[in-house]
Amino acid sequence: MALSTRQRRPQPSDPSASPPSPYSKSDKPARGSSAGQAGAEGAGDKGLMWLTPLFTLGLLRYMSATSNIIHDCDEVFNYWEPLHFLLYKSGFQTWEYSSQFALRSYLYLIFHEFVGRPASLLFGEEKVRVFYAVRFFLGLLSVIADAVLVVALSRKYGKRLASYALAMLCLTSGCFFASTSFLPSSFAMYAMSLSSGLLLLDKPAFAVGVAAAGVILGWPFSFLAFLPVTIYSLTRRFKQAFLTGAITSLVLLALSLYVDYCYYGRWVSSVLNLLLYNVLGGGESHLYGTEGLLFYLRNGFNNFNFCFVLALLFLAIFPIVRKKYAPELLVVVSPLYIWLGFMTWPPHKEERFLYPIYPLVCVAASAVIDSFPDLFRDKYNPRDDSLLVLVAKHIRPAVLGLILCASHARTFSLIHGYSAPVEIYKLLEHHEDAGMGSVLCVGSEWHRFPSSFFVPPFISEVRWIDDGFRGLLPIPFNSTLGGTAAAPPYFNNKNKASDQQYLQDLDACTFLVELQLNRPYPTRGSDMSTWEVIAALPYLDRELSPAKYRSFFIPYKWHEKNVFGMYKILKRIRN
C-alpha cells in the first residue's frame, strides 16, 4: 500500500487537526483489480454498471427468441415435444423417453414447465405464444448469467475488456443462437457464464453450486468443463465450496430421482443412465452420424469467425500477459481447451455439444484483443508508447468491428436462408376450413418439424410418410400404454425403423409438407391434380450453394450466387 506523508500528532490547541483514520481492509487495493495491476491499462475505469449489460443483452436475447431458427431436431423431439405432452397430452416420444431406457431427465422439463404451464393457461389454444414464452424465459436466463460474467470481468480487469466481451456475447452467431435454444447444453452454457462470473466476483462457494446445477439439472457430460472452476474454488475456500457443491448435488440428484420415478413409473436415474449409456458401454452414438477431427474447428469458425481464432491464441500470449490475468482468468478460460480437446475425439459430433464453452470463447478473444499493445510493449517500461504500441491500441476496435460484421453476416444468412420451416407452419392456422380431424403428413422433412406447438387444434394428427428413411422416428406418446411410464415395444436403441412409424394410407393426408428442390426426381407435391399449394417460402439449397456464399451474407452476392428451393404446404384437392 502506498504510504502518505506521516501525520503529526494532533495537539489540543490545534482545532483544525483531526484524528487519523484507522487502517481498514478497504484501504488495501483489491487483489487483481485494475488499480492493483502493474502496467494494466484503464486503471481508472469505474467498470460497467449493471444497467448496460442487462439492457444490451436483454435486447439481443429478445431478438434471438423471436427470430432464432431450430438448428437441431434433437431440440424438437427430445425437449419441445415432451414439454408439449406435459402441457397438452399430445406430442412425439423418442426412444430415449421410453421407460425401458429412461435417458432423459424430466426434472429439466419440469423446470421449463413452470413457465409453459401458466403460459398455456393464459394463451389457451394459441400454442405458438406458449412456445415463444418459453423462449423468452431461456433468453432471460442467458441475460442474467452473461450480465454477471460481464460485470465481473469489468470489476476485475477493466471496462474495456468487459465491453469487448459484452459485444461478442451479444452479437456472435454462436451465442445469439445458443442463448435461446431449448437444450441441456444451453443450460450448461448459462451455468458456465454464471459460475465463471461468480468466481471472478470472489464467490467461490456459489460458483461451485451453480456448476453442480449446470451438470445435474442441465447436461451431465459438462462436468469436465466445470472442473477448473470447481477445483480452484475448493482451493480458495474449501469448506464453504465443498458444502455448497455437495448439498446442491445431493438435493438435485434426489429431486431428479423422485421426478423420474413419478414419470417413468419406476425407480430410475436418468442422469446415471445417460452416463452409463454413453461412457461405460452400450452407447452407439455413431449410429446417428459421424464427423472428422476438424469438425469443431470449422464449426467454431462459422459461429465465431475470427473471435474463435483469437480465443485459441489466448494460451500463446498468456506468458506475456500473465501478470494481468493469472490465475483467475486462466482458470475461467481453461475449459475452452479442455472441452474442445475432449469433444474432438468421439466420432459422433454435434454443434450443440460445444455450447457450454461459447461464453468462454468470447472472454478469451476479448482478453487477446485487449492485450494487443502488451505484445509490443517493453516489459521493463509499462508506460511504453512506441509507434507499434499506439498502432496496436488503434487496431483493437477495428478487429472487434470485423468480428461483429462477420457475425452479423453469418446470423443474417442462417435466419433468412433456413427460417422457412418455422415460419410456414404458422400459416396453417389460416386454413381452419379444412375441418376438425385434419391430418398433416410430413415425409423427408420430418427432421425440420418445428414441434407440435406450431400445429393448430383443428389438425388431429401429424404423421410421417415413407420417403426412404430407414432409421427410427419419433412416435406419439401412447396414453393407453401408460404415457410417460410406457415402454412401447416399437422402440429400440439401435436406430432401426419401426413398422408403426409410417402412415400407410396416404389418402388420409389432408395437408402435406415438402421441400421442393431442383432435383431430377419428382416429389409427391408435384402432382397438381391431387395437391394445391397453399403456402410457399424460399429455402436455401445447401448442396447447390457455394460454401462461402451460403455461410456468410455478402451483399448482392448472397442472392445471386446461392440456390433456393421452395418450402411448401400443400392441401389435398377434394373432388
Where in the chain are the domains?
Answer: 51-418, 420-489+497-572
DSSP-assigned letters across all residues of 377-435: S-TT-TT---HHHHHHHHHHHHHHHHHHHHHHHHHHHHHHHH-HHHHHHGGGGGGGGG-
Mean pLDDT of the chain: 90
Q: How far is Cα 568 from Cα 566, in angstroms, rounded to an integer?
A: 6
Interval 517-523 mean pLDDT: 88
- Give pLDDT tens digits for 342-380: 999 888 889 999 999 999 999 999 999 999 998 888 776
- Give pLDDT tens digits for 444-479: 999 999 999 999 999 999 999 998 888 999 999 999
More confident site: 28 or 205:
205
Burial 383-393 (b: 16+ CB within 10 A, else e): ebeeeebeebe
Interval 489-515 mean pLDDT: 93
pTM for the complete prediction?
0.89
Report whether pLDDT(85) > 80: yes
Q: How far is Cα 221 from Cα 43, in angstroms, rounded to an integer?
A: 39
CA atoms within 13 A on the CB side of 139: 24
Predicted local distance difference test score (pLDDT) of residue 323: 86
Q: How far, rounded to the nearest angstrom, does the alpha carbon of residue 568 sit from its chain's CA centroid? A: 29
Q: Would you say the C-alpha torsion 110, 458, 440, 487 has a positive or negative sign?
A: positive
How many CB atoms neighbour CB 281 within 10 A? 7
- Give pLDDT tens digits for 150-205: 999 999 999 999 999 999 999 999 999 999 999 999 999 999 999 999 999 999 99
Which of 256, 218, 453, 454 is CA-nearest to residue 352?
218
More confident site: 543 or 35:
543
Which three three-digit cell numbers place residue 145? 448469467
Q: What is the CA radius of gyration of the chain?
A: 27
